[in-house]
């Protein structure tokens, strides 16, 4: 059985994080709510597969990294900037979300929020299942974002044109102790 642990991103992760951004997000930057985020400037959480108990797992650290969540805490809010799970439907994304909620609560954030695009049906379903509410649709905003980040494709998942930004949030005030 594989165990997953979550830890803070550190300097040893930075080359890997940059490669994740380039390979999965098209560039070492992402755009959310009109703001350009550089991967080198974000906080992050890394999911790691634990090595096997019998010692048969001799993979290097970079091969055991199985998820990444980057975030930004400012003005009493926590924005999830990116979330990647490299083993879909294995609970890694949910563990990363749980960990960032703990970080946000510790920082006394009022809410956690994030954006995704209209084509990303997997993300939309994932966040709905985790009690994030869709609070805004920013229609036809993507042409403006492509001025900031030309790597944003015109056509996304399942052949759906990427036109809109969807904003999800989870208020944290009820969760705070």
SS (H, E, C) 92-155: HHHHHHHHHHHHHHHCCCCEEEEEEECCCHHHHHHHHHCCCEEEEEECCCHHHHHHHCCCCCCE
Indicate the length of the chain as a whole number: 177
Helix H or strand E encompassing 169: strand 165-171
CA distance 28 to 166: 21
Can you give the pLDDT at residue 22?
Answer: 95
Residue 44 in this model has a pLDDT that exceeds 70: yes
CA 154 to chain centre: 21
Helix H or strand E encompassing 19: helix 14-25
**CA separation (Å) from 73 to 43, 76, 130?**
8, 7, 20
Residue 60 in this model has a pLDDT that exceeds 60: no
Domains of the chain, start order: 4-171 (3.40.630.30)
Kindly state the percentage of the chain with pLDDT values over 90: 83
**What value does the mean pLDDT of the chain take?**
91
Residue 61 in this model has a pLDDT that exceeds 80: no
Residue 99 in this model has a pLDDT that exceeds 80: yes
Q: Hey, what are 59's tokens?
A: 């993979």
pLDDT mean over 88-116: 95
Can you give the pLDDT at residue 57?
Answer: 47
Task: Place 88 in a pLDDT band, splitting at 50, 70 and 90.
Answer: confident
pTM for the predicted model, two decimal places = 0.89
Can you give the pLDDT at residue 174?
Answer: 67
CA distance 153 to 161: 9
Can you give the pLDDT at residue 176?
Answer: 56
Residue 62 in this model has a pLDDT that exceeds 50: no
pLDDT mean over 100-119: 97
């Amino acid at each position: 059985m594989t165990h997953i642990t979550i830890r803070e991103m550190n300097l040893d992760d930075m080359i890997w994080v940059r490669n994740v951004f380039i390979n999965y997000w098209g560039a070492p930057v992402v755009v959310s709510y009109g703001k350009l985020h550089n991967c080198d400037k974000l906080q992050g959480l890394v999911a790691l597969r634990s090595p096997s108990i019998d010692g048969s797992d001799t993979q290097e650290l970079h091969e055991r990294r199985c998820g990444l969540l980057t975030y930004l805490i400012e003005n009493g809010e926590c924005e999830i900037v990116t979330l990647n799970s490299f083993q879909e439907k294995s609970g890694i994304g949910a563990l990363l979300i749980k960990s960032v909620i703990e970080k946000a609560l510790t920082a006394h954030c009022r809410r956690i929020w994030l954006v995704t695009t209209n084509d990303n049906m997997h993300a939309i379903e994932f966040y709905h299942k985790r009690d994030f509410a869709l609070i805004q649709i920013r229609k036809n905003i993507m042409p403006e974002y492509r001025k900031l980040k030309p790597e944003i494709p015109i056509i996304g998942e399942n052949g759906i044109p990427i036109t809109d930004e969807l904003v999800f949030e989870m208020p944290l005030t009820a969760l705070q102790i």
